[in-house]
Amino acid sequence: MSGPTTDPRAAAPGTVVPTRRNTELLLLGFAVLITLAAQSIVDVTITGSLRPELATFGGWFAALWAVVHLVVRRFAPYADPLLLPAVAVLSGLGLTMIHRLDLAGMQDGAEATREDAPVQLLWATIGVALFVAVVVVLRDHRLLSRFAYTLGLVGLVLLALPAVLPASISEVYGAKIWIRVAGFSIQPGEFAKICLIVFFAAYLVDKRDVLALASRRVAGLELPRGRDLGPVLAVWVVSILVLVFERDLGSSLLLFGIFVVMLYVATERASWLLIGVGLFAGGAFLAYQLFGHVRVRVDTWLDPFAYRDEGGYQLVQSLFGLGTGGLFGAGLGGGRPDQVPVAKSDFIASAIGEELGLFGLVAVIVIYLVLVERGLRTSLVVRDAFGKLLAGGLAFAVAWQLFVVLGGVTGLLPLTGLTTPFVAYGGSSLVANFGLVAILVRISDAARRPATPPPPPKQAIGEAPTEVVSS
């Protein structure tokens, strides 16, 4: 690992590194404007007039991002300027779609549906609070590595908790991944994901030399020694346990995928990828053979239309929505995304595809791509190994989660219960992902910050006034 001073990417002392905070401010303003425009279109299309609460919503939403911006300007001035605008536009779009589905629910009038959009705005506020706390308190991301093992344990506990709790508090739609207390539903897996990524990053930085170097060459591949397989096997077992006891293919796939990729990045050994894919394929095959619910899930995925009235109903409805949306979509408020069950959470992407069309959905995917690639760029630029691995893991986690979710609702992969980061309805996911972005912002600040604090303007020694060195 290169020390800070020898990294060629580090800005040479004396050059002024632009903070790009004004770019961020401009883009954030743009994201807020887009959100307000979208909300107005929804209101006018569905109810014919703007709702009075729109001003409150707009003010609140703009205030959230103003706070975020000010905190970043003050505490992480060199942070990547694109991360937050991407998150702002995604969460704004999510709030719009949730509000839109609220209106559809109220129109149906079948049952008194509570409005979810204000709740989601509240969750976003909590998310922003978490973001501010992380950015303010965590002045250096390397501090996290000190608590890595604690966080790893917390992650495991969070992951395992729903499996241990009685089904009455932990099971929703067959997946045992919830903790429901006093009207609140929390998916601890979302927080476990971040804790475990921190742990993986610290652990792998520690052990990367052993895992990378001690190897045997078999058939042109650098294979690790048997005993070094321990960690990957452990994570594999945990993933399989999640799959079996929580019936949650999504978290299982997410966790294992992130770990294998981080292992690969840490060791630079492609053989880990092959071992990982092999292990997961084997585990998945076993699960398919042994467990009915996995088999049903896979069969439904292979031919959803054959099960259109049963397990395939959601996916088929999602495909109907996407297909009906076509190239340009039905327009915000013009489609029937409420026909898809749980459109607000699991299937929000198909609601976007139906109303904003192919163009809208691809635009959303590209915004995610921007977010992820900026995160990966941060990990390329940051100078310490832990930061590199952590940023890479977090960025990849967002990408991998989006791939698994979108793949699921479009029939590319078996359906999982994962949520679309920042967009889908769900407090845990939103808050946890704000935490994730906070860490990324912190690392990106470290990555772009000049190696040493900008010195005062150079002056000839002789001309320099005498001053008291105070720092």
Partner 1 sequence: MNAPLRRVAISVLVLFTLLIVNVNYIQVVRSDELREDSGNTRVLTEEYSRERGSIVVDGTEVALSVPTQDTLEYLRQYPQGPLYAPVTGYYSLVYGAWQLEDAENEVLAGSDARLFTRRLTDLFTGRDPSGGDVVLTLDAGVQEAAMAGLEGVTGAVVALDPSTGAVLGMASTPTYDPGRLSSHDPADIRAYAEELGAMDADPRLNRATEDNYPPGSVFKVIVSAAALSTGEYTPETVVPAPDVLTLPGTSTQLRNFGNSSCSSSQEQSLIDALTISCNTAFAQLGIDLGEDRVREMAEAFGMTGERLEIPMRTAGSSIGDIESEAALGQTSIGQRDVRMTPLQAAMVAAAVGNDGTLMTPHLIDQVRAPDRTVIDRADPEELSEPVTPEVADQLQEMMESVVTEGSGRAARIPGVTVAGKTGTAQVSGDVPDHNWFVGFAPADDPQIAVAVFVANGGGTGGDVSAPIAGDVMQAYLEGQGG
DSSP one-letter code for 269: -
Residue selected from 320, 342, 345, 451 as contacting partner 1 according to rule CB under 8 A: 320
Q: Is 385 in the site for partner 1 (CB under 8 A)?
A: yes
Dihedral sign (CA 317, 320, 326, 329): negative
Q: Which one of the spans 105-113, 172-180, 226-234, 278-286 is the region binding partner 1 (CB under 8 A)?
A: 105-113
Interface stretch with partner 1, choices 179-187, 240-248, 374-382, 423-431 (CB under 8 A): 374-382
Q: Which of 37, 126, 221, 380 binds partner 1 (CB under 8 A)?
A: 380
Do residues 287 and 240 make contact, with C-beta atoms less than 8 angstroms apart?
yes
Instruction: Find the largest Cα–Cα distance for the chain.
Output: 86
Which residue, 445, 360, 409, is CA-closest to 90? 360
Contact between 392 and partner 1 by CB under 8 A: the answer reads yes
Neighbouring CB atoms inside 10 A of 308's CB total 17
Nearer to partner 1, 189 or 321 (CB): 321
**Number of residues forming the site for partner 1 (CB under 8 A):** 51
Q: Which stretch binds partner 1 (CB under 8 A): 151-159, 393-401, 420-428, 462-470?
A: 393-401
Can you tell me the distance from the alpha carbon of 298 to that of 307, in angstroms, rounded to the nearest whole number?
Answer: 11
Which one of the spans 13-21, 64-72, 288-296, 409-417 is the region binding partner 1 (CB under 8 A)? Answer: 409-417
Alpha carbon separation from 341 to 188, 409, 413 (Å, rounded): 23, 12, 18
Give the range of 58-66, 87-95, 154-162, 380-388 binding partner 1 by CB under 8 A: 380-388
Q: Give the x-and-dash track for 348-367 against partner 1 (CB under 8 A).
A: -----x---xx--xx--xx-
Subset of residues 256 to 275 that bind partner 1, contact rule: CB under 8 A: 261, 264-266, 268
Nearest to partner 1 of 171, 222 (CB atom): 222
151, 407, 254: which is closest to 246 by C-alpha? 254
- Min separation Cβ 392 and partner 1, Å: 5
**How far is the C-alpha of 51 from the C-alpha of 295, rounded, in Å?**
47
Of the candidate residues 336, 342, 345, 451, the single one contacting partner 1 (CB under 8 A):
336
Query: Binding residue for partner 1 (CB under 8 A) from 121, 253, 406, 446?
Result: 406
Q: From the centroid of its chain, how far is CA 201? A: 17
In this structure, the number of other CB atoms found within 10 A of the CB of residue 341 comes to 12
Q: Does 322 bind partner 1 (CB under 8 A)?
A: yes
User: How do strand 184-186 and strand 179-181 relate by DSSP bridges?
Assistant: antiparallel
Q: Which of 325, 414, 427, 435 binds partner 1 (CB under 8 A)?
A: 325
Judged by beta carbon, residue 152 or residue 411, the one nearer partner 1 is 411
Residue among 188, 283, 321, 417 that touches partner 1 (CB under 8 A):
321
Tokens of 60: 């609140």
307 lies in the binding site for partner 1 (CB under 8 A): no
The amino acid present at 345, given as its one-letter code, is: S
Closest CA to 186 of 214, 222, 158, 228: 158
Is residue 403 close enough to count as binding partner 1 by CB under 8 A?
yes
CB of 24 to partner 1, least distance (A): 22
- The residues that bridge with 184 in the sheet, in sequence order, are 181
Task: Render 247-263 in DSSP notation, one character per residue.
Answer: --HHHHHHHHHHHHHHH
Does residue number 109 form part of the binding site for partner 1 (CB under 8 A)?
Answer: yes
Report how far apart, in Å, the C-alpha atoms of 251 and of each of 193, 297, 316, 375, 431 are: 8, 15, 23, 21, 17
CB neighbours of residue 124 within 10 Å: 25
Q: How far is the CB of 130 from partner 1 (least distance, A)?
A: 25
Torsion of CA 348, 390, 263, 164, to 10 degrees: -60
Select 399 or 423, whichever has its Cβ closest to partner 1: 399
Q: Which is nearer to partner 1, 407 or 450 (CB)?
A: 407
Q: Does 315 engage in binding with partner 1 (CB under 8 A)?
A: no
> Under the criterion CB under 8 A, does residue 107 sit at the interface with partner 1?
yes
Q: Using CA atoms in the order 53, 58, 59, 61, what is the torsion angle rounded to 10 degrees?
A: 120
φ, ψ dihedrals at 373, nearest 5°: -70, -30
- Shortest distance in whole angstroms from residue 262 CB to partner 1: 9
State how far the Cα of 287 lies from the Cα of 55, in Å rounded to an integer.
51
Residue 112 Cα distances to 102, 106, 107, 202, angstroms: 11, 7, 10, 48
Closer of 157 and 366 to partner 1 (Cβ): 366
In the list 373, 452, 454, 464, the residue contacting partner 1 (rule: CB under 8 A) is: 373
Stretch that binds partner 1, among 33-41, 102-110, 280-288, 423-431 (CB under 8 A): 102-110
Binding site for partner 1 (CB under 8 A): 107-109, 261, 264-266, 268, 308, 316, 319-327, 335-336, 339, 353, 357-358, 361-362, 365-366, 368-369, 372-373, 376-377, 379-380, 385, 388-389, 392, 396, 399-400, 402-403, 406-407, 410-412
